[in-house]
Amino acid sequence: MTDIEVKNLSRTYEYYRKQQGLLGSFKSLFHREKLYAEAVKNISFSIESGELIGFLGPNGAGKTTTLKMLSGILHPTNGEVKVLGHIPSQREKIYQKQFALVMGQKNQLIQDLPAIETFVVNKEIYEIPDKEFQENLEELVNLFDIKNILDIQVRKLSLGQRMKCELVAALLHKPKVLFLDEPTIGLDVVAQKNIRDFIKKYNREKKTTIILTSHYMEDIKELCQRVIIINLGKIIYDGKLDDLIKKYAPHKLLKVVFNGNGVRREEVEKFGEIDEFNPYVCTFKTNRSEAKNTAVALLSSNLPVDDIIIDEVDIDDVVRKIFTSQS
């Protein structure tokens, strides 16, 4: 079943340019130069029920704008969006009760009260029956192990604790579709891993459809099989993460360690394109099909080879390459 259907979606923002300085501010009181920015340009994709999709792209690529249109905060300038058969911008209650949006940089928790109070308010807003609420709350609280912070003012919690509470607040009504906009932003590695593990488990157990945006490749690598890469408002890749590497990185990295006195550059140049070189460690870029042959050739030569590692190009590098080649 298709949960999310996006067709030729575009969104344009209006903004103004202000000249630098005080004089510019005065001028802009009377006349402002109006500009338009196309944050999302004619994108289309569809997502099946239960999928966990990674939404990748640099700052300002249009990720959040797309999520906002999927959750009905923004009206599309052009194109169509359908989530669970509803048009989000109509803001039907029946749709709103079936999805949740968590933004790493915006919070829904009432800052001056303990998180439990927001949970209770959400229970009423989403009209969750008492029994269901108790069960969900208990389950989520145990999963995150946050029983002991429920009665502490949200302002006093650490960022990681707060994020856990944000997720609980968003999941109490058991959404079928979940939008996570940089849920791990600003968190330390341990907290990041906690959140990541939770998302993985939740997606697996509840079959919730999840779209995740993140700047941390770790999140994407760990969680998503399929990624949609968006840059300058356009989708530039939509497919499996593994295929992405094959498509954009047609070569593998062959790392050769030498012992003894090492080698000279001229001695190894004939084996392939050198990526990095020092007398003891040399990395070659080779075609996928030729990696093995190159390794054999190296081993059978009389160079003092100690070890050979054949590795994929790092996904971070692939993505960075895509982004830079685009802009």
Nearer to other proteins, 73 or 313 (CB): 73
- Residue 127 interacts with other proteins (CB under 8 A)? yes
Total site size for other proteins, rule CB under 8 A: 37
Residue 77 as a binder of other proteins (CB under 8 A): the answer is no
Strands (E), the chain: 2-17, 33-48, 52-56, 78-83, 99-103, 177-181, 209-213, 226-231, 234-240, 251-258, 273-277, 281-287, 305-311
Q: Is 120 in the site for other proteins (CB under 8 A)?
A: yes
State the first-to-last Cα distance of the chain, in angstroms, to the nearest integer. Answer: 36
Q: Closer CB to other proteins, residue 233 or residue 272? A: 233
Q: Tell me the helix, strand and coil percentages in the chain, rounded to 5.
A: 40, 30, 30
User: Taking the complex as a whole, how short is the minimal distance between the CB of residue 197 and other proteins, in angstroms?
Assistant: 25
Q: Measured between alpha carbons, how far is 170 from 99 in angstroms, rounded to an integer?
A: 9
Tell me the Ramachandran region of residue 260: left when phi exceeds 0, alpha when psi lies from -120 to 50, beta otherwise.
left
Q: Which amino acid is at 98?
A: Q
Contact criterion met (CB below 8 Å) for 63 and 55: yes
Choose which of 19, 36, 46, 125 interacts with other proteins (CB under 8 A): 125
Residue with tokens 């907290």: 191
Among 73, 236, 257, 303, binds other proteins (CB under 8 A): 73
Task: Work out how close the CB of 164 gets to other proteins at its nearest, in angstroms, rounded to a whole number.
Answer: 17
Query: Which residues inside 41-60 make contact with other proteins, applying CB under 8 A?
Result: 60
> Is 110 a residue that touches other proteins (CB under 8 A)?
yes
Rule CB under 8 A: is residue 96 a binding residue for other proteins? yes
In the block, tokens 């609280």 appear at 141
Q: Which is nearer to other proteins, 72 or 272 (CB)?
A: 72
Residues making contact with other proteins (CB under 8 A):
13, 37, 39, 60, 62, 64-65, 68, 71-75, 91, 93, 96-97, 99-101, 103, 106-108, 110, 112-113, 117-118, 120-121, 123-127, 153
